[in-house]
Structure 1
């Protein structure tokens, strides 16, 4: 049976197959697998950076990934509340809206 396509393959594999491969091999295959931080901690850092930089286009995936990596919704809410004061109120509010929307998706039911 063929391997299930990665998120990168689904998102950009048809238009940028090499970038999808690099995303899988280097970003998620090397950087995310380094032993210095747990996947949970890497997710918290990544979500924080995306919120601070107002990069909402990647935030949906990484909020879901953070929960898959062991962060609870209440921990993410606390982190986003904290970020409101350091990264900006609109950034945190937008991220909280995305987190709330994840409740309605089938894979989180």
Structure 2
């Protein structure tokens, strides 16, 4: 049954159904689908913000989304390296550990 639920519905739909609905319809529907930026560009921007703001809970899902949007493993590593100088070494170090974990998992269809 959880396979039919969106990631937002799975994560917090039982606690905050309106937030899950807004995430699905507005954030991942309207905002992510605007044509002015590609999904790939939006993924890189989002990863940079999440790493810089130390939003570690959201990072795994957005790493997977970035890969789905065409960001390569090498580009992920380069982004983290670049961010180390702007967001701080601890933030980059933590992002590397999370990326290692996500990248070691089997790709889901």
Structure 1 residues 68-83: aligned runs within 5 Å: 68-83=68-83
2:58 is the counterpart of 1:87? no
* TM-superposition CA deviations, 1:40-85 (whole Å, max 9, x none): 0000000000111111111111111110111001001001000000
The number of aligned residues is 106
Match in the other structure for 1:27: 27
**In the aligned structure 2, how far is the partner of 1:81 from the partner of 1:31?**
27
**In the aligned structure 1, how far is the partner of 2:57 from the partner of 2:94?**
11
Structure 1 residues 40-59: aligned runs within 5 Å: 40-59=40-59
| TM-score, length-scaled by structure 1 | 0.92
Gaps of 5+ in 1: none
Provide the aligned C-alpha RMSD in A.
Answer: 1.2
**In the aligned structure 1, how far is the partner of 2:103 from the partner of 2:34?**
30
Structure 1 runs of 4+ with >3 Å offset: none
**In the aligned structure 1, how far is the partner of 2:103 from the partner of 2:28?**
25
